[in-house]
Amino acid sequence: MPDIERLVNDFVAKLSKRKVEGSQATSRLTAELLRSVVSLQRLPPTNSAAVLIEAVRGIGVKLVAANPVELAVGNIVRRVLHIIREEDLSLLTSKTSDLDLSAASDDERTIDQDYDPTQSAAAAAAKSFLRPPSLHALLENMLDKAVPTNNYTSSSGGDTEEKSKADKLARTRKLKHDVIEAINILIEDIDTCHELIAEQAVEHIHQNEVILTLGSSRTAFEFLCAAKEKKRSFHVVVAEGAPRYQGHALAKELVSRGLQTIVVTDSAVFAMISRVNMVIVGVHAVMANGGVIAPVGMNMVALAAQKHAVPFVVVAGIHKLCPSYPHNPEVCLNDMRSPAELLEFGLFSNCMEFGMDSGAPLQVVNPGFDYVAPELVSLLITDM
């Protein structure tokens, strides 16, 4: 059976080397890893929830540090920590309610026995025999009168201790089981987020509308295709999303599903926006203030939409909802990608040599994301 440390190190290596792309894939793999951690983690009979929380929190710190830009990792770690606390609280609540019910039933039995005079004396004698000595009796050195009570208490105490230990072990196993089941539900929610969001498409996309989108987003793709399946006829304008040109792949997929699609350059967005009825885009993350982190070029689209009073609609699963604010120091809003996406390697090397000779070296900056302020977002559609 693989150990926890090896599983964590393997996933950390994948995150740091950017071998996992996409918030959904990253969220699913993170949840699966934490499920394995919960399953393999050895827990003590007492304070099992605290030990489990500490283990998950420590692993979460490593995962977030491996790729700070992928905010979905921290989101899933927080969700799992919340699950552990909720399940532990649920077990405590159920235990307390069981104790209250047993106490109430004991009171009812006591009241019923008071109505039977033939059993009251025997019950009182039994209770006095089973009752441990009082503090007053201990202080008055009257233990010699309570020898039968002490004998019963010692044997009963051993049984009670064993029963208490067994109850704690059972509670620890129940906590693990419940947490794993809740994480399984979380993974299922991540897998089905696109379908749940797409079910709302018919409420927002109407006949003969023109929709603009940027880059490639599976959530936006499923959203548009769901409207098409509901017999809505509309046009989609796809901005190509330079320099990675992911819009080209999205346009091909839309055409294969029968949608009327137009591809434009990113610089043509302002020229096309006056003919557009709505902008529908997928994003990388949704911040606590309502702003979004999206592929580069998205802020230009949002500004154009605001200028022409076009609704700017964001579709995102709840695994992309981040409780942090963009001004928090631990939040990394951008990722500098390879200059090779802008300039071919041969051309880039020639420019570098020319720059070094002239004393003004060429610098290539290739940011991966834009931050879109909350006042530019008209509507957020999630799977909640």
Give tens-digit pLDDT for 53-104.
999 999 999 999 999 999 999 999 999 999 999 999 999 888 776 655 555 5
- Does residue 156 lie in a domain region? no
pLDDT of residue 224: 97
CA atoms of 148 and 130, how far apart (whole Å): 8
- Does residue 268 lie in a domain region? yes
Q: Side-chain half-sphere of 45: how many Cα atoms within 13 Å?
A: 10
CB atoms within 10 A of CB 165: 12
Q: Indicate if the alpha-carbon torsion angle 208, 382, 61, 31 is positive or negative.
A: negative
List CB contacts of 3: < 8 A, sequence separation 6 or more.
40
- Does residue 138 lie in a domain region? no
CATH number at residue 321: 3.40.50.10470
Same domain, 188 and 319: no
Q: Give the predicted TM-score (pTM) of the model.
A: 0.78
- Does residue 243 lie in a domain region? yes
User: Which one has a higher pLDDT value, 121 or 169?
Assistant: 169
CB atoms within 10 A of CB 176: 18
- 118 forms beta bridges with none
- Average model confidence (pLDDT) across the chain: 84
Q: Are 153 and 132 in contact (CB under 8 A)?
A: yes
Lowest mean per-residue pLDDT among 22-26, 46-50, 119-123 = 119-123
Same domain, 187 and 234: no
pLDDT of residue 346: 66
Same domain, 234 and 277: yes
Average pLDDT for 179-198: 95
pLDDT of residue 330: 75
pLDDT of residue 197: 96
pLDDT of residue 352: 59
Same domain, 76 and 221: no
pLDDT of residue 105: 58
Same domain, 237 and 348: yes
Same domain, 298 and 183: no
Residue 148: which pLDDT band, with cuts at 50, 70 and 90?
very low
Same domain, 217 and 263: yes
CA distances from 340 to 216, 296, 337 (A): 20, 16, 9
- Domain span at 275: 205-381
Residue 109: which pLDDT band, with cuts at 50, 70 and 90?
low
- Does residue 302 lie in a domain region? yes
- Does residue 145 lie in a domain region? no
Same domain, 311 and 341: yes
pLDDT of residue 157: 57
Helices (H) and strands (E) in the chain, counts: 13, 9
- Does residue 177 lie in a domain region? yes
Same domain, 245 and 180: no
CATH number at residue 31: 1.20.120.420
Q: List strand residue ranges (DSSP E) for 67-173, in order.
A: none
pLDDT in tens, 359-371: 667 778 889 999 9
- Does residue 157 lie in a domain region? no
Same domain, 211 and 307: yes
Same domain, 226 and 278: yes
With a cut of 60, say whether residue 117 has pLDDT above it.
no
pLDDT of residue 103: 55
Q: pLDDT exceeding 90 applies to what percent of the chain? A: 62
Total number of domains constituting the chain: 2
Residue 12: which pLDDT band, with cuts at 50, 70 and 90?
very high
Same domain, 232 and 279: yes
Lowest mean per-residue pLDDT among 176-185, 322-331, 355-364, 374-383 = 355-364
Element at 292 (helix H, strand E): strand 292-295
